[in-house]
Each structure stands twice: as structure tokens, then as C-alpha cells.
Amino acid sequence: MIVALMLFTFFLWLYFSLNLDQPALAQNHVTGHVIINRDGKDWESQQVQEPCILVNPKDPTRLIMFYSGVPAANTSVAFIGKAWAFAADPTHWFEDGDVKKIV
């Protein structure tokens, strides 16, 4: 009787800890989605890195991302770019044209 109770408890724990009633991946799972497209922009042609994402203090329904970019022609300088997205859809970003140079 005790062994059966222990097995029942183990399987009950296993069921709830693994969430066997939920699908393995959510329907909105995103894999390999390009957030910032660096094609056609010299200032970020070498690399895009170091994103910092914040909630927009003026509009909490939007996110702001600051990130750095390095041109392939001169890797001794870097730039800071800005993009925004809707908080409800953080996988689609819109780039701001205002870019700041860092020497």
C-alpha cells in the first residue's frame, strides 16, 4: 500500500512539474527572426551588438532599443542606433533614422 501511494505521489509530481497537459512549444514561438537588418546601412555593416531594451517612459505600450553598430570600412569607430517596437509584439522592430557616432 505504501509503495502504491509513493508511486502515485511520484507520478502526480511528475505530471505537474513537466506540464504534460501543455504543448511543448507555444504557438507564437519565434526561431531565427532577424530583429535589426543591417543590409544597406554602412554604419552597421560590420556588426550590430549590445542591445539595451527599455519600456518607453512616454508610451508604455512601446519598447525602445538602443544598440551599437560598427562599419566594415572603419572598425575603429562605432555608432549608436535606436529602434522601437510595440510591447505586445516585441519581435518586430522599426529602426529610427537618428544615429549617433562614437569615436
Domain boundaries, position 33? 27-102
Q: What would the pLDDT profile of 7-35 be if each residue is shown by its tens digit?
A: 666 655 556 565 555 555 555 666 777 77
Is residue 3 one of the residues assigned to a domain? no
Neighbours of 85 (CB within 10 A): 18
Is residue 73 one of the residues assigned to a domain? yes
Count of structural domains, the chain:
1
What pLDDT score does 54 carry?
A: 93
What pLDDT score does 28 carry?
A: 62
Is residue 31 one of the residues assigned to a domain? yes
Is residue 22 one of the residues assigned to a domain? no
Is residue 96 one of the residues assigned to a domain? yes
Residue written as cell 502526480?
12
Is residue 87 one of the residues assigned to a domain? yes
Is residue 12 one of the residues assigned to a domain? no
Is residue 13 one of the residues assigned to a domain? no
What pLDDT score does 33 carry?
A: 72
User: Exposed, middle or buried, 8 (CB in 10 Å: 0-12/13-18/19+)?
Assistant: exposed
Q: What would the pLDDT profile of 43-92 be if each residue is shown by its tens digit?
A: 888 888 888 999 999 999 999 999 888 988 888 898 898 999 999 988 88
* Alpha-carbon torsion (38, 44, 48, 53), positive or negative: negative
